[in-house]
Amino acid sequence: MSHEGIRFVNAEEQARITAAERPLSREAMTPAKVRVLITEGKGLEIDWLDGHRSAWDFHWLRNACPCATCIEERTNEGRKPGDGRAKKADLLPMYAPPARPASAHAVGRYAIQLNWLDGHSSGIYSWEYLRRHCICPECSLAATEVTGAPN
């Protein structure tokens, strides 16, 4: 009997996989209303068809850019989507302008693209990605419980 193809994962890894692949209903990934508060400099707000509401500030969104370059950068630095760069104590603070998009537009029916003032615009934020990274207290708590990760 062959065991080829069977992969053993520890409980912690299994929990992480479960959290990432937690099935979401179609309604949970379909926005009823999308507000990009560019003039106010606030962020992105989405009311989902299932009645849930999510909001992210631009700082979080910039640091959660889902493009390949940013994902690689975050992975190398051990940052989660939305985590800012760690400030290096031995460096003089540099002026960093607050993250803000110049514009935003829908990409088909599945995503939104944010064109950041710093010139970066390759990140396409799919509704599914955003819903899976909802940072409201309820969803953050659920994610903490599933992964057991300290906050």
Kindly list the residues in this chain that would bind Zn ion in the complex (CB under 5 A): 65, 67, 70, 123, 134, 136, 139
The CB-of-2 to Zn ion minimum distance in angstroms stands at: 42
Q: How far apart are CA 72 and CA 84, in angstroms?
A: 14
Smallest gap from residue 27 Cβ to Zn ion (A): 14
36 or 64, CB closer to Zn ion? 64
Contact between 114 and 102 under an 8 Å Cβ cutoff? The reply is no
CA distance 83 to 86: 9
In the complex, the smallest distance separating the C-beta of residue 34 from Zn ion, rounded to whole angstroms, is: 15
CA-nearest of 44, 39, 2, 17 to 135 is 44
Q: Which is nearer to Zn ion, 36 or 131 (CB)?
A: 131
Least separation, in Å, of the C-beta of 85 and Zn ion? 13
Radius of gyration from C-alpha coordinates of the chain: 17
Decide whether 38 or 113 has the Cβ nearer to Zn ion.
Answer: 113
Instruction: Please name which of 85, 99, 111, 115 lies closest in space to residue 41, comparing C-alpha atoms.
Output: 99
CB of 41 to Zn ion, least distance (A): 20
What are the structure tokens assigned to 69, written together?
A: 């370059």
Identity of the residue, 17 or 136, whose beta carbon is nearer to Zn ion in the bound complex? 136
Tell me the C-alpha distance between 135 and 130, whole Å: 9
Q: Which is nearer to Zn ion, 107 or 136 (CB)?
A: 136
